[in-house]
Amino acid sequence: MIIDCGANVGYSSAFFMALFPKAELIAVEPDDGNYMLLNKNLLPYRSRATLIEAGVWSKSTALVVEKPENIPHGNEWAFTVREALPSETGAINSVDIPRLLDMSGRDRISILKIDIEGSEKEVFSANCDWPSKVDNLVIELRGDEAAAPFLDKISQHPFEHSHCGELDVYKRIAQ
């Protein structure tokens, strides 16, 4: 089971699906334009892939996608989400990691990729025990404010850490 949080247009998802031809995948992307391309790019894998247009968060709530003004074409990865105010329209749903795991019908996540543009602060600030069900975690942390709650939670679990470019990679240590 592979879960791709912040799947963007699906390049990582497609890579994982090609590399692991028996794997199932859940890809989550909040931006509608990116989601359309994700859907297109994962067509060859649709029998094994579930796509969800939502933002990853710590609880069930409405989120708003924030797009920086004058964003150059090709930088659609810079979209962020925040919790919607009661009066805001155009909100999308959120989904949390335990819900994604439940949706998968599996007990464990083999690979969890998290690239959610700073929302990791919200995801890991909540009381979460789900990292005990993750075998490999790949995350792009956006600054110290987002990194602190993640590092606090992940330090409670037996992971070996390595770094590759802008990604932090955590591999569960066999007990």
pLDDT value, residue 66: 83
| Domain spans in the chain, listed from the N-terminal domain onward | 2-172
| 71 has a pLDDT exceeding 60 | no
For 119-160, what is each residue's pLDDT tens digit? 999 999 887 889 999 999 999 998 888 899 999 999 999 999
| 175 has a pLDDT exceeding 60 | yes
pLDDT value, residue 115: 95
Fold (CATH) for 2-172: Rossmann fold (3.40.50)
CA distance 50 to 52: 7
pLDDT band at 89 (very low <50, low <70, confident <90, very high): confident
| 62 has a pLDDT exceeding 60 | yes
